[in-house]
Structure formats: structure tokens, C-alpha cells
Amino acid sequence: MAALIPGLAVQVEGSYNAQNQLMANSFKFKGNDLERAEAIQAGMHETQVQAQQNKQELEKQRAAIDATVARFGQLDDYYILDEGAIYFGNGKVEVDPKYNPQLLALSDKAKTVNGYMIEVKGYASTAGSVALNQQLSEDRADNVTNILLQQGHIPLTRMLAPGAMGESHQVGDDKTAEGQAENRRVVVRVLQNKAIAGV
């Protein structure tokens, strides 16, 4: 009976009992049929083992993919490692050369950070029209970005698109000349993605 395995061709002799059930009295099979069935069974076992290994490997790959997705899910989550502000005269968009050393220092610091990005946001005071202030903030951000690219040698792939923030996020009191001067600015930030930082 122990030799009866799936795939084995057998000849069975039997008779019906009192309950009209067929009862086997003897089993016969050929030796080469048994060998063939055992080979098939062994192959099935190998297949089952391989299937289990494949399942485990797929689970590992799925876990790795989930981890990668989680890391990419943090791409908007940055550490601010350094920042600086560049200020502008009323209606002005050209960067005062006195700020160049500050911008180059930020560039140098950024290059020491693994996976750094640089964010540039331009702002304007509320003096003048909203449309004009939007354009001023854009031109200021673009001019600062150009210095970082051309003089700081920051690769374009490390720059986030310059942000033109217009009159939003006023930091100074626009009712005073000093407050307006504080609001006419470009903020430069050195960022590191938290996923790249391994957090």
C-alpha cells in the first residue's frame, strides 16, 4: 500500500461485500511503472520546492518595491540645511553684487550634501499692481537662479524650478518702508530629501 502513489498504473482485483461496496483484494503493478511514478512524484516535489522558493523571492521583491515606493513617497519631505535671503530695491530685479559671495557659499555648502536640491523663491512687496509684483518676484528668482547655475556651478538637475511668489508670504509690515524692503526678497534654501538622508 505504501507504494501506491499518484501516477502509478495498477491492476486491482476485488469483490463486493455485504454492503455492496467494492473491496480490493490485491494490487498489481510493474516495477518500471513504479519507477516512472516515483520519478514523476520526485519531479512534482522539486516543482513544489521551486514554487515555494519563487513565492519567497516574490515576497522579498514586493517588500523591496514597497520600501522604494515609501522612499519616493517622501520626495516632498525635505530637510532645510541652510538658507539665505537676497534683498532688492523697489522695482528692481538685478542682484546686488554684494550678495554673490553669500550665494557662492550656499552653492559650495550644497555640494557637500548627498542628494541636495536648491530651492529659489522670489517675493515682492505690495507696492504697485499685483501683476507687476508677480513679474518682479519671477525675475528676481530667475536672476538669483542664474548666478547659482553660472557662477556657483550648480547642475540644473539640482535646481527646483524657481518659484514666483508675488505678494504672498509677507514677512515685513508693508505699511512701512522697512517692512516693504524686507518683503522684496529672494529666499534660497539648500534642501536634502529625507528619504535620501535615510530617515
Quick: pLDDT tens for 127-144.
Answer: 888 899 899 999 999 999
Q: At what angle do helices 100-110 and 130-150 cross, to 10 degrees?
A: 60
Between residues 184 and 33, the one the model is more confident about = 184
pTM confidence score: 0.58
Q: 111: helix, coil or strand?
A: coil
Q: Which residues partner with 113 through β-bridges?
A: none
pLDDT in the model for residue 177: 81
Q: State the pLDDT confidence band at 34, using cuts at 50, 70 and 90.
A: low
**48 to each of 5, 53, 105, 177, 183, how far by Cα in Å?**
16, 9, 62, 80, 70
pLDDT at position 140, please?
A: 95
Q: How far apart are CA 160 and CA 152, in angstroms?
A: 15
pLDDT at 107: 95
> Quick one: pLDDT band at residue 187, thresholds 50, 70, 90?
very high
Please state, for a pLDDT cut of 70, what percent of the chain lies above it: 76
Round to whole Å and give the CA distance between 118 and 124. Answer: 20
